[in-house]
Structure 1
Amino acid sequence: MQLLTAAAGANFGIWNALNEGGIISWSVFIILVTMSIGSFYILFTKLLQQQKIINQGNKVRSSFWNAPNLREASTKLEAKSAYRAIVEDALLAQEQHGKLTDPVDQHDWMANSLARAQGGISARLGEGLAFLATVGSTAPFIGLFGTVVGIYRALIKIGAAGDASISTVAGPVGEALIMTALGLVVAVPAVLAYNWLIRRNKSIMEDLAAFTNDVHGFLMSNGAVKPVLAAPTKPAQVAKPAPTATAAR
């Protein structure tokens, strides 16, 4: 029984099926594997990028607004921090507003400058996601192409041999099923990664939008308006028992 199983694996394994399919099967296989490698590379690199910005946001909430002014506060952030880029763009917009020859409301000028800074960060966060979306939508069809070719080859074998025995069609049908499975294996993780990264990007951009609004209010009020920082909670004091009548006497 073991010998028969080993022989079947040698005759109808995945590599035999790909070799039997020829250049078309190998081309489909290589394309799908390349798509899978690219998808996982983008997933891990984007997760690292997102986590870095999340860590920067935690640092902003803990110490940024304790500084006396924005210029000094920005030095507490990393040099290439997304939050520092917003602060520096806001300070630059404030300086540029005084040099404008055509009067523009400072509120609008600052809002447009901060919106442009946010747009640049959003664009960087979205880099690579189009590839994931493309893989998720096209990988099943690439696998389906290999499936169609495998079924076509099975029909040719049936016509040439004059019978539809398992030994005649096992190779091409196995090749077709392998292509279908590969297409799904590549597409499903890409779709899941795309949706997950999009959701994390949305959460990050919401935090950046809130920070941008705080910076805008701070500059427009000359430092009078800043986010309210949560005050440290004081330990609860144990109430002293009231004196008894005996003690009072």
Structure 2
Amino acid sequence: MTPTTMIDNTQAAVAATPGLEPGFAHFIGQSDAVGKALLAVLLLMSVASWALILLKGTRQVLQRRRSQRFLDFFWNARSLDAVQDELQVHGVREPFGHLAAHALQARDHHARHGAARLEEAGSAQDFITRTIRKVLDEEGTRLENGLTLLATIGATAPFVGLFGTVWGVYHALLAIGMTGAGSLDQVAGPVGEALIMTGLGLAVAIPAVMAYNAFSRSNRVLNGRLDAYAFELLTFLSTGATLLRAGPAPRPGTAPRPGAALAAVTAVAA
């Protein structure tokens, strides 16, 4: 028997069997409350993950552009006072500006009031260092928002789909056992429809896992750049030097390597 003949015979058997219309709609129609509840859970997971992916993706693109513009302005400014004036006029809309604004405020606050409270104890450099660390922690926490949900969906969606498959296969086998009909044409339809749940679980999990990995890498890169920028900023605030540089300026929109600021400040002081 050729494959074409087998396909024609299968189609004829399906057409001759009343009510046998394998497909997703037929699967939903014959699902019980548990199966429909699992479908609803997978649908909610999919909607939540895609909404989060679009929201965080758009936010990261805008944040990257704003950060590049601010770093370009910062490394071309003549002094930290010019940076502070710019932040006061246009506000803060990205992590690097947020870090610079709080560090400058900490410097001015300690210069005016000194160590008036316990959290302000120590030198001005100690107070600025604690402020920078606090802002870095806040930015790191903010960047992690939503990643737990993506990781949870990516890890649990396949098992939700697998449970739906097991549940559907169980009911299919139970029906076959009650009717006593166990031929291939009686088993293939219900079992194939039950396997749809596994496919749905994978369809929900794969985008969530890929987005989680992409966002995690982007966050690591941004945290590294923030750490380097925080070192440079602390050096400038501690020495009171301007933003003049010894040697060639870095490419616009990028922070210099850690330690470059210290060499620049030493050259200016000399």
TM-score normalized with structure 2 length: 0.76
In the alignment, which residue of structure 2 is the partner of 1:222? 240
User: 1:33: Cα distance to partner?
Assistant: 1.7
Q: Does 1:204 align with 2:214?
A: no
Cα 1:177–1:217 change in 2 (3 A) is same
CA drift of 1:122 comes to 1.6
Separation of aligned partners in 2, 1:47 and 1:181: 26
Cα displacement (A) at 1:218: 0.8
- Segments of structure 1 that go 5 or more residues without pairing to the other structure are 234-249
User: Retained in 1: the 8 A contact 2:78–2:244?
Assistant: no
- Within 2, Cα distance between the matches of 1:185 and 1:228? 54
Match of 1:178 in 2: 196
Q: Are 1:195 and 2:195 matched, yes or no?
A: no
Take 1:147 and 1:199, find their aligned partners in 2: how far apart are those partners?
Answer: 34
Aligned length: 233
Aligned pair partner of 1:147 in 144, 158, 165: 165
1:24 alignment partner AA: V
1:43-58 correspondence to structure 2 within 5 Å: 43-58=53-68
Instruction: Map 1:225-244 onto structure 2 (within 5 A).
Output: 230-231=248-249
Match of 1:236 in 2: none
Aligned-residue CA RMSD in angstroms?
Answer: 2.8
Change (3 A) 1:164 1:226: farther
Contact 1:147–1:176 at 8 Å: present in 2 too?
yes
Instruction: Single out whichever of 224-233 and 179-188 deviates more from structure 2.
Output: 224-233
2:236–2:242 CA contact under 8 A, matched in 1: yes
Deviation at 1:231, TM superposition (A): 4.4
Matched, 1:39 2:14: no
Deviations 1:94-137, CA, capped at 9 Å, x for gaps: 12324213641322221111111111112121111111000011
Contact 2:75 2:243 in 1 (8 A): no
Q: Cα–Cα, structure 1 residues 151 and 203, in superposed 2: closer, same or farther, change >3 Å?
A: same
Q: How far 1:138 sits from its partner (Å)?
A: 0.5
1:12 equivalent among 2, 5, 22:
22
Q: Say whether residues 1:127 and 2:138 are aligned partners.
A: no
Are the counterparts in 2 of residues 19 and 26 from structure 1 also a CA contact under 8 Å?
no
Partner of 1:86: 99
Matched residues, percent identical? Answer: 33
Q: How far did residue 10 of structure 1 move?
A: 7.4
1:226 deviates by 6.1
Counterpart position of 1:166: 184
**132, 137, 162: which is aligned to 1:114?**
132
Deviating more after overlay: 159-168 vs 83-92: 159-168
